[in-house]
Structure 1
Amino acid sequence: MLLIRPCQMSDLDDLMALSRAVGRGMTSMPADEAAWLKKITASERAFSEAGAEDAMGTYFMVLEDQASGRVVGTTAIYTGIGLDRPFYSYKISTLVSSSNELSMTRQARVLSMVNDYTGASEVGSLFVLPEFRKPGMGQFLSRARFLTMADFPTRFGDTVMAELRGWLNDQDQSPLWENLGRQFFGIDFQEAVNTVALKGTQFISDLMPKYPIYIDLLPQEARDVIGKPHDSSAPALHMLKKEGFQFAGYVDLFDGGPSVQCPVSEVHTVRDSHTAEACIGFDIGEQDELFMLSNGDINNYRVMLAPARLAADGCVMISKQTAESLALNHTSASVRCVPFKRTQATQAVAA
């Protein structure tokens, strides 16, 4: 069985291995032990009673294969983005100019560097090892974050966003970076990604131009990838749109990947989930409907995908094994639940 839970210090070796498997371009998971120690410490703080007091938090969760105890995937929520250091995006907008003498009106699309997502919550760091990319696994990891938001609503901002990886060519190069970012920073794409992950965004403030960039002045190969997701992120974008997320014209500074957003209260998993008393059903099995289930305990948080049944009295019937995996240790325990539809879509690196 597979279980989603908060990361812990004993996961460090597995997380380092996952970072090496992720590949290039995922800034939230650098293969750097110091960065991971900092992230794990921050997540342990977030998943505590004291974490409710913090304006910023890192809720980093792992997918554990219970048979082996091995961490095989990751998913995360970052709250209060942009409060400690700027969270930059390009906003695509249109400038209109006209000339009476020429009886002409022209429109030009521009990229403007903005901090519009300051204070929002961000979902990201979704990754599954190739051998565990079974149908529905990416959906499980993605929606678990929204179940967490439903369980602890006061810990998250009113808006949730996701930043998708942008399109890269066969040489793992970003056409937007090669034709825009490199001109101002003089470093390659991966070095820029690593610098953000390990040192922050100050170098962007120092070197990136503050004025709008006219898109039509960029080479065609750069224009073509603005707002275009990485091949491995396209299924994630589709999945987020099904949850109610929309593209509002924001793209990543480095690779032009799209950002999508949604009010937390309108995310479908948040809206459609509910809490109910959990009861042991000894005949619960594969013939029953799949549900996503969480225990609602911030100090020992658990999310599972398991067969369950809604009883006539409103309780959720689950197996004894599911109850034990969710760390439900008493007869009056409640769970949050939402139906889970099986899908044939799989995701690798997503949002």
Structure 2
Amino acid sequence: MLLIRPCQMSDLTDLMALSQAVGDGMTSMPADEAAWLSKIHASERAFSQEGMNHSSGTYFMVLEDQVSGRVVGTTAIYTGIGLEKPFYSYKVSTLVSSSNELAVTRQARVLSMVNDYTGATEVGSLFVLPEFRRPGVGQFLSRARFLAMADFPERFGSTVMAELRGWLDTEGRSPLWENLGRQFFGIEFQEAVNTVALKGTQFISDLMPKYPIYIDLLPQAAREVIGKPNDSSAPALHMLKKEGFQYTGYVDLFDGGPSVQAATNEIHTVRESAQGCVCISDEVSEQDPLYMLSNADLGQYRVMLAPARRAADGMLMINSATAKALKISHADANVRYIPFDRQQSLHAVAA
């Protein structure tokens, strides 16, 4: 059985270890203890009644190995992005110009720095330790966020977006950063990423040009990676597209990775999940179909990937171990659930 739950203060050591394993490029998981303490406090606040009183929230969840009790993966939802500090993206758009005298019309692609996602909900921070990367684990971590949105719709915005890590070369360098960002900031790519993670985005507003940047004026190496995901993010992008997310021309300011978006109520897992009472039965075995299940309890939220079976009356049957892990002590408790494809073979590890 796999269990996802909100992070807690006792996870700090494991989370710091995960940061070391993540590598470069994921701004939401810096290897900084103060940053993690702040994130844990923010998540504890979000998973409380008080969280409804704040425009922005951090719902940070962890994948717990049931055998060792270790945190071996992460996944998160960030609400109200851009409301407390600016959230920048590049928008890829087309400018058309023409000359009657020359009878010529030209189209030029440009990058414009925008804040179009202000107020939206973002999904991110998806990571799994290498030794726990098995078929279906990335899918489970990704879709658990959407079960939470279905459980507590009043806490999340009408638009959900995700930033995918951009393409890096074999030396870990971003061609877009080397040919664009570095010209304005004069620092290494990873230093810029760390600055955003630890100090915020003010330096972007201070130094980045406010006018459109003509893509055709950039070197070919930079042009080619605009909207191109990192190899490790490609499976995550595929899963998001299966949930209904689409690329609409927004890319990351630093590495050019694509951003995708969807209307919350149109996300597959949100739309297709069901809620109802469950029956606890010892007849359920490991050979039964897999389901994703959540207990819909904000104070002790749990999401499980476990076998379940439909009873003759249509009620979903789960075994006692699943009920215990979900913190369900009686059969009339409400559970949200959706079938899970046991054959899923994608290894999404970062999104």
* Structure-2-length-normalised TM-score: 0.99
Aligned to 2:35: 35
SS in 2 for 1:172: coil
- 2:48 maps to a residue whose letter is S
Local SS of the residue matching 2:308: strand
Q: Distance in 2 between matches of 1:310 and 1:49?
A: 34
User: SS at the partner of 2:279?
Assistant: strand
* Partner secondary structure for residue 350 of structure 2: coil
Q: Report if the CA contact (8 A) 2:277-2:331 is conserved.
A: no
8 A contact 1:273–1:337 mirrored in 2: yes
SS at match of 1:177: helix
How far apart are residue 282 of structure 1 and its match?
1.1
The structural deviation recorded for 1:346 is 3.4
Shift of the alpha carbon at 1:348? 4.8
Larger CA deviation: 171-180 vs 274-283: 274-283
Match of 1:152 in 2: 152
AA at the equivalent of 1:193: V
> How far is the alpha carbon of 1:314 from its aligned partner?
3.2
1:348 and 1:331 map into 2 onto residues whose CA distance is: 34
Partner of 1:127: 127
Pairs within 5 Å for 1:294-333: 294-333=294-333
Match of 1:186 in 2: 186
Q: Name the SS for the 1:145 alignment partner.
A: helix
State the alpha-carbon separation in 1 of the partners of residues 282 and 343 from structure 2.
27
Unaligned runs of 5+ in 2: none
Match of 1:290 in 2: 290
Which of 335-344 and 249-258 deviates more? 335-344
What does residue 54 of structure 2 align with? 54
Q: Percent identity?
A: 78
Counterpart CA distance in 2 for 1:208 and 1:198 is: 19
3-state secondary structure, aligned to 1:35: helix
| 1:91-131: CA deviation from partner (whole Å, max 9, x where unpaired) | 00000000011100000000000000000000000000011
Mapping for residues 180-219 of structure 1, pairs under 5 Å: 180-219=180-219
Aligned positions of 1:326-341 closer than 5 A: 326-341=326-341
SS of residue in 2 equivalent to 1:108: strand
Shift of 1:316: 1.2
Inter-partner Cα distance in structure 1 for 2:235 and 2:109: 27
Match of 2:7 in 1: 7
- Determine the structure 1 residue equivalent to 2:264: 264
Letter in 1 for 2:202: Q
Deviations 1:258-308 (A, max 9, x none): 000000000000000010101112110122111000000000000000000
CA contact (8 A) 2:133 2:349 kept: no
Q: Which amino acid aligns with 1:2?
A: L
Deviation at 1:329, TM superposition (A): 1.9
Paired with 2:348 and 2:291, the residues of 1 have a C-alpha distance of 22
**TM-score, normalisation: structure 1:** 0.99
Counterpart for residue 111 of structure 2: 111
Q: Which has the larger displacement, 202-211 or 275-284?
A: 275-284
Shift of 1:330: 2.4
Deviation at 1:312, TM superposition (A): 3.4
Amino acid at match of 2:298: I
After superposition, the CA RMSD in angstroms is: 0.8
Give the deviation of 1:190 after TM superposition: 0.1
Matched, 1:64 2:64: yes
Q: Which amino acid aligns with 1:100?
A: N
Letter in 2 for 1:179: N
> Where has structure 1 moved over 3 Å in runs of 4 or more?
none
1:327 shift after superposition: 0.3
1:192-231 Cα shifts (integer Å, max 9, x gaps): 0000000000000000000000000000000000000000
CA distance in 2: counterparts of 1:349 and 1:177, whole angstroms: 23
Secondary structure of residue in 1 paired with 2:87: coil
Provide the rounded CA distance (Å) in 2 between the counterparts of 1:59 and 1:313: 36
- In the TM superposition, residue 344 of structure 1 has moved relative to its aligned partner by 4.5
Moved more, 50-59 or 99-108: 50-59
SS at match of 2:162: strand
Alignment-mate amino acid for residue 288 of structure 2: D
Q: Distance in 2 between matches of 1:302 and 1:38?
A: 22
2:93 corresponds in structure 1 to: 93
1:23: how far off?
0.3
SS in structure 1 at match of 2:260? strand
Query: Match of 2:18?
Result: 18
1:313 shift after superposition: 2.5
Give unmatched runs, 5+ long, in structure 1.
Answer: none
Deviates most, 306-315 or 235-244 = 306-315
Separation in structure 2 between the aligned mates of residue 349 and residue 23 of structure 1, nearest angstrom:
12
TM superposition shift of 1:149: 0.2
Code of the residue aligned with 1:21 in structure 2: it is: A
User: What SS class does the counterpart of residue 58 from structure 1 fall into?
Assistant: strand
Q: Which residue of 1 aligns with 2:162?
A: 162
Instruction: Give the CA deviation at 1:309.
Output: 1.3
2:137 matched residue in structure 1:
137
What amino acid maps onto 1:10 in structure 2?
A: S
